[in-house]
Amino acid sequence: MAYSEKVIDHYSNPKNVGTLDKSKNNVGTGLVGAPECGDVMRLQIEVNEEGVISDAKFKTFGCGSAIASSSLATEWLKGKSIDEAIAIDNMDIVEELNLPPVKIHCSVLAEDAIKAAINDYRVKNGLPALEETKH
C-alpha cells in the first residue's frame, strides 16, 4: 500500500515527539490503544493559565499512519483552547493525511487520545470528565 506524502513526511520528521511531566496539574495525559491491536498512542497536553494548550507531545507504537495521525494532532493542539481541541474530529485528520479506509482507525485513535488527554486534565483540575467519546 502506498502512503500519502503527508504521512511519509510526518513519519520521517515527526513533530513533537516526547514526554511532558505527567505529575504536573496542568498536564493532561491520554494513553489509548493496546499492544495486541498493533497501536498504542500516548498524547500529552500542557495547558497555561489562560486555558490554552501551550505544548503537546506524543509517543506512538504503530504503523506510519498512526504515527502521522498523532504527530499531526499535536501540531493542531498547540495554541488551541480546550474547547477548540475537543472539536477536532477524526475525519479532519483523515482528510489532511489522505488516509485510506483501512487506516481510518488510526485517526480514531488520535481523536480518542486527544479526548483522553483533555479528560485527564479536567479531572486533575476538579472538572467532570467529558461524556463518553463517540467511539
Partner 1 sequence: MELKLPIYLDNNATTPMDPRVLETMLPYFTDNFGNAASRNHPFGWAAEEAVDYAREQVANLIGADPKEIIFTSGATEADNLGIKGVFEMYASKGNHIITCTTEHKAVLDTCKHLEKLGAQVTYLEVLPDGMIDLAALENAITDKTILIAIMYGNNEIGVVQPVKEISAIARKHNVLFFTDGTQAVGKIPVDVIADGIDLMAFTAHKMYGPKGIGALYVRRKNPRVKVTAQMDGGGHERSMRSGTLNVPGIVGFGKAAEICKNEMAAESARLRILRDKLENGLLQLEESYLNGHKENRLPHTTNISFKYVEGEGLLMGFNKNIALSSGSACTSASLEPSYVLKALGLGDDLAHSSLRFGLGRFTTEEQIDYTIKAISDTVNKLREMSPLWEMFKEGIDLNSIEWAHH
**Residues with catalytic roles:** 37, 106
Per-residue binder mask for partner 1 (CB under 8 A), 56-85, x = binder? --xxxxxxx-xx------------------
22, three cell numbers: 505527567
| Least Cβ distance, residue 51 to partner 1 (angstroms) | 26
Q: For partner 1, which stretch binds (CB under 8 A), given 35-43, 72-80, 83-91, 123-131?
A: 35-43
Q: For partner 1, which stretch binds (CB under 8 A), given 20-28, 37-45, 77-85, 87-95?
A: 37-45
User: DSSP assignment, residue 24?
Assistant: S
Q: Are 93 and 99 in contact (CB under 8 A)?
A: yes
Binding-site size for partner 1 (CB under 8 A) equals 36
The string of DSSP letters for 47-113 reads E-TTSBEEEEEEEEES-HHHHHHHHHHHHHHTT-BHHHHHT--HHHHHHHHT--GGGHHHHHHHHHH
Interaction between residue 132 and partner 1 (CB under 8 A): no
Give the span between the Cα atoms of 90 and 120, in whole angstroms: 20
CB nearer partner 1, residue 22 or residue 81: 22
The string of DSSP letters for 7-18 reads HHHHHHS-SSBS
Q: Binding residues for partner 1, per CB under 8 A?
A: 3, 8, 11, 14, 17, 19, 31-42, 58-64, 66-67, 101-105, 108-109, 112, 135
